[in-house]
Structure 1
C-alpha cells in the first residue's frame, strides 16, 4: 500500500518534501508523491496525531556603500564614503503537532526556538581607515513566535485538490522594540527572536496529481495587525507592511519511498507605516527564491527530508537549508 503525503510536503513542496509513514492496516496522513496520485485525502485523518521536528540554517549577508556629501563635479566628491558589511546567521528548531478533527480538516500548532548570530561592521574608506571603526557582533536565542493553523480540504472526488488554510502567528518571541539598544549607535544589544506583531495569513493551495508527478501552487496574504510600540520612551503606532505570497512547483516520485521536488516562491512585502504615514526610507520588498527538496521513507513509520533554498533577489536570504523528520505516536 502506498503511503500518504503530508500537506506541508505538497503545499510547500518547493521548501520541503515531508514524509510520515502509514501502517499497512491503518491509513495515515499522506506522505509521498505517489500516494497523492492514488489517494485523495492529503490532510491528517480524523483522530490521528502527528508530529514534525525540523531544523533550518539561514545565511544572509549584504554589502552597502553609503555616500554622505555632495559632488562639485562628476568626478569630485566632497563628503564621506562608508562601506558596511553585515552577516546574519539564523538557526531555527521547531516542533509541530497536527491533529485531524475530521478527514477533511486538521489543526496544527508550531513552536519554534530561534538562535541568531549577527555580525555588522563598517569602515569609512574616504578617511583611509585600516580597520573597522564600528563593529557590532551579537548573538543569542530564545522562543520564537508560536503559530496556530487550521486547514480544510474542499474536494476529494475530482482533481485538482483544493486546500484552504488560516494561520495565526503570535508575539511570543522577543520583539525588536523590546530589545535594548545602544544609545549611541542604535544597534541591538541582544537579538530579537520574533516580529513583535500578531499576524493572520489566509491562503489556498492546489494539488494536481499527474502520474508520476504532482503539480502544486499556492497563494496567501499575510496581514500584520498594527500596534503601539515604545520607541525611546515614545508610543508609536507601527503598521508593518503586509505580504503577498505566491508559489508553484512540481514533485515527482522516483520510487514509492523516494521523491524529489522543485519550486519557485515569490513574496511582495508592502511598505510599512508609522503613525499612519509611510516613512521616506520605506520601500516595497521583492523576495524570490528557488527551492529543491528530497524526501526518503527509510522505515515503515519514519521518514526524513531535506530542502535547500537560494535567494534570487537582493532582499531574499542568500541560502537556507532545512531538515525535517515527521513521526507519529
Structure 2
C-alpha cells in the first residue's frame, strides 16, 4: 500500500503542474476574445447610429421635397441626427452597451432595433394604417377622445308579384296580375364620440339622423293589369341613439389575437313605425283596401335593444385579420296602435325578433397611411310577435330576415389626427340593401 500511495502522489504532481502551466494561456485567450467582442460591439453600435443618422437625413430631405416641412426644419432635423450620432463615435469601446442604451430608441424611424429594448418598443409601435383599421373595428384603445362624423346612403329595391284570382283547368289563370314594387332611399348622418377611459376600456355614443324616401308602386290599379299606381312618402328625424362600451380582454401576442368584449344599449329615440296614419289610395267595390301607404316614414324601431359581442383582431404584416360575433335582444314595447289598417285602432304589444350577427374580414396595409379591406357581415333576425290587448301572442309572417353584405373599404390618413374611411356594401340576400355607400371621418383629440 505504501508503494501504491507513493506512485499516485508521483503521478498527481505532473498533472497539477500541467494545469497551472495552461491557465495563463487560457486567461490570455479569454482576454483577447473579450477585447474582440467589445470592439465588434462598439463597431456595431457605431454602424447602427450611422444608419439611423442617414435614415433621418433622408426622411428630412424627402419631407423638404414634398413640402411637408420647410427647408429650415429639414436642416434642423439633419443636424439633430448628426448631433445625436456624434457621441457614439467618441464613446470608449469598453462600454458599448451603456452607450447604446443612452440613446432613446426610435423604432418608428428605422425598421430595425439595435437592442432588445428597441425591439420591444418596435413591437409596441403600431403603424398608422393598422391603427386606422383597428379604429374602424372598435379595437383601438390608445386614443383619449375621438369625434367621428359619418354619412351613409342605402338603396333598397324589392319587387313582388301578386296574383289575385284562381286557376281554371289547372292551367289558365283568371283574375288580376299585379306587380308591387317598393323603392327606398335612406340617407344617414351619424355623429359619434369615443372616449378612452383607460387603456382597456372605451365608451361610445352614436347619434344618427335619418332622412328617408320610399316609393310604392302597385300594378293592376282600377282592376286593369296594365295600370300602375304610384305614391311616395318621406320621413326625417333623430334615429335610435346607441350607447356602447368596448373592453380589451386579451391583448394581442405573437401567438394569439386581440380579443375585445362589446356591449351596447339602443334607446328608441327615433319615430316608431307604429301608430302612423295611413292614406287609402284605392278600394274595391266591397270597401276592401287595395292600396294604402303610410303618411310618413319611421326613423327608429320603437323598442329598447341590448347587444353583446366579441371582436378579434390579428395583425400579420401586411395583413390585418378581424372578425366579430354577437347577439341582439329586443325588449317588449307597448303602443297605442299596432294595426296598419287605416280604418281601425288596436293598441297592443310588440316583440321584435332577436338577431344573431357575425362577420369576418381582412385588411391590407399598403403603406403608412393607406389600407384596403374586404369583409362579409351577416345578420339573421327571428320573427317578430304582436299581441293585441287581451289577445295571445301571434308571430308576424315574413318578419324574419337574413341580411348579408359584402363590404369593400379604404382608409386614408388625412393628417396626424384625421382619417377618412370609405365603405361600399353589396347586398347578397333579398333582405339586405341593394348597396350601401358610406364615409366616416374620425378625428383624434
TM-score, normalised on structure 1? Answer: 0.84
TM-aligned CA distance change 1:29 to 1:125, over 3 Å: farther
**Alignment correspondent of 2:56:** none
Deviates more, 1:150-159 or 1:193-202: 150-159
* Structure 2 segments unaligned to the other structure (5+ residues): 1-106, 109-123, 281-288, 338-343
Deviations 1:191-210 (A, max 9, x none): 11111111001010111111
1:80 equivalent among 176, 198, 202: 176
- Counterpart check, 1:296 vs 2:412: yes
Larger Rg, first or second structure (1 or 2): 2
Q: Residue 294 of structure 2 aligns to a residue in which SS?
A: coil
Q: Which residue of 1 aligns with 2:313?
A: 207
Partner of 1:260: 372
Describe how 1:174-189 pairs up with structure 2 within 5 A: 174-182=271-279, 185-189=291-295
The one-character-per-residue Cα deviations of 1:203-223 (angstroms, maximum 9, x if unpaired) are 101111111111111001111
Change (3 A) 1:120 1:31: farther
Report whether the alignment pairs 1:141 with 2:236.
yes
CA distance in 1, matches of 2:150, 2:315: 26
**What is the distance in 2 between the residues matched to 1:28 and 1:142?**
42
CA distance in 1, matches of 2:367, 2:141: 23
Quote how far apart the aligned CAs of 1:176 are.
0.5
Shift of 1:128: 3.8
Structure 2 equivalent of residue 45 of structure 1:
142
User: How many residue pairs align between the two structures?
Assistant: 300
Identify which of 329, 332, 335 aligns with 1:229.
Answer: 335
Task: Describe the shift of the 1:35–1:174 C-alpha distance in structure 2 as closer, same or farther (beyond 3 A).
Answer: closer
Deviations 1:22-44 (A, max 9, x none): xxxxx99985226889xxx9433
Deviations 1:79-112 (CA, angstroms, capped at 9, x unpaired): 2221111110000001101111111001001111
Match of 1:156 among 251, 255, 259: 251
Structure 1 residues 138, 34: closer, same or farther in 2, change over 3 A? closer
Alignment partner, residue 353 of structure 2: 241
Give structure 1 stretches of 5+ with no counterpart: 3-26
**Residue equivalent to 2:50:** none
Q: Is the 8 A contact 1:30 1:43 kept in 2?
A: no
1:270 has 2:382 as partner: yes
The aligned residue for residue 55 of structure 1 is: 151
Query: What is the CA-CA distance between 1:300 and the residue it aligns to?
Result: 1.7
State the Cα deviation string for residues 237-278 of structure 1 (Å, max 9, x = none): 211111110100101100010000001111111111112534
Q: Does structure 1 conserve the Cα–Cα contact (< 8 Å) formed by 2:133 and 2:371? A: no
3-state SS in 1 of match to 2:347: strand
1:205·1:217 contact (CA, 8 Å) conserved in 2? yes
Say which structure is richer in helix: 2
Which of residues 278, 286, 301 in structure 2 aligns to 1:195?
A: 301
Q: Which residue of 2 aligns with 1:18?
A: none
1:119 aligns with 2:231: no
Structure 2 residue aligned with 1:24: none
Gap change, CA 1:123 and 1:35, over 3 Å in 2: closer
- Of Structure 1 and Structure 2, the greater strand share is in 1
C-alpha contact 1:44 1:98 (8 A) present in aligned 2: no
TM-score, normalised by the number of residues in structure 2:
0.63
Deviation at 1:125, TM superposition (A): 8.0
CA–CA separation in structure 1 for the residues paired with 2:265 and 2:277: 27
